[in-house]
């Protein structure tokens, strides 16, 4: 959707109905957060897929 800054603005405005994340089992210790700090979201798990190498793709519906 254009990076975490734009996503944070859209989440605060209630303009996001679905979130998809791909989790890779690698520790990095820094970087840009995928979701905004300090904002609470109600999420309902829609789908989870596991891939070779440990990558997990998860899809959530936001609930306001």
The domain ranges of the chain are: 17-27+37-64
The pLDDT tens digits of the residues spanning 2-47 come to: 677 788 888 888 888 999 999 888 887 777 777 777 778 889 999 9
What's the rounded mean pLDDT across residues 47-53? 96
Q: CA neighbours within 13 Å on the CB side: how many for 53?
A: 6
Which ranges of 1-64 would DSSP assign to H, the alpha helix?
4-12
- Residue 37's DSSP bridge partners are none
Specify the pLDDT at position 31: 76
* Predicted TM-score (pTM) of this structure: 0.74
Q: Are 7 and 21 in contact (CB under 8 A)?
A: no
Q: Which residues, in sequence order, are CB contacts of 12 under 8 Å at separation 6+? A: 36, 39
């Amino acid at each position: 959707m254009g990076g975490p800054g734009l996503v944070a603005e859209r989440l605060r405005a209630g303009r996001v109905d679905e979130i998809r994340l791909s989790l890779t089992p690698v520790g990095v210790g820094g970087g840009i957060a995928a979701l905004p700090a300090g904002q609470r979201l109600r999420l309902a798990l829609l789908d989870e897929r596991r891939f070779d190498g440990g990558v997990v793709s998860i899809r959530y519906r936001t609930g306001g």
